Amino acid sequence: MKAVVFGLAALVVLTLSSCSPCRGGHGPRAHANRDLHGPADVEAYIRHLESSDRDPWQRPDEVIAVLQLRADAWVADVGSGPGYFTRRLARAVPQGVVFAVDVEPRQLDRLNEHLRGDGLRNVVPVLAPLDDPRLPPRLFDLVLVVNTYHHFPERVRYLERLRDALRPAGRLVVIDYHKRELPVGPPPEHKIEREVVIEEARQAGFTLTDAPDFLPYQYFLVFRPVTQR
């Protein structure tokens, strides 16, 4: 099973990497970052995402501890960037697999550098289009979305795709910034209120089951599919 899924993921990555519509951006003035909500200077953005200054407020180790993942869990890190959470997840599920999904190839290039340096072999990088995470159906115990929800186009439809990727007892976790002035994150107009996320998740077939509140600048929402799909 694992070999089949790894083969499928490799095919997805190769197909998307060679897809000319994915490379061209939108219109004659292509954005330098395929993530249209991200800064144009991708290299500077990667350095920002990897900065250790993020640790005190993002609390990644606490986040993963709260998730209580089994060692053989299958996890998708959607909006993985250069692997800030992906690498920690890979260590938390040594007998499992982590799919690292991002729309920007340079983010995944950086992630691959880390994976080689760390010797991590249970991560599958997936280069995805803006509107589809390209995840195999009913395979994942957890889909984690950190600081990425506000980037999704057609958010309810995107959530439906994430729901379809989950096993019946799987969880969707959304962590994103409170919609107010904060010392971190995008400006308030780019943020999405906690209640909006909950409502959109409900429309996509999820119910809220937990909401840990230890993060200083972000909401932490845990959802499960309402019914098996």
pLDDT in tens, 123-155: 999 999 999 999 999 999 999 999 999 989 899
Q: pLDDT per residue over 157-197, tens digit each?
A: 999 999 999 999 999 999 999 999 999 988 898 899 999 99
Question: Average pLDDT of the chain?
Answer: 85
* CA count, 13 A, side-chain hemisphere, 44: 6
Q: pLDDT per residue over 33-70, tens digit each?
A: 555 555 555 576 666 667 778 899 999 999 999 999 99
- Please give the Cα distance from 228 to 224 (Å, whole number): 10
The gap from C-alpha 95 to its chain's centroid, in whole angstroms, comes to 20
Are 95 and 74 contacting, i.e. CB atoms less than 8 angstroms apart?
no
C-alpha distances in Å from residue 223, one per residue of 69, 113, 158, 173: 15, 32, 15, 6
- Please give the Cα distance from 219 to 176 (Å, whole number): 6
Q: Where does 2-225 sit in CATH, by number? A: 3.40.50.150
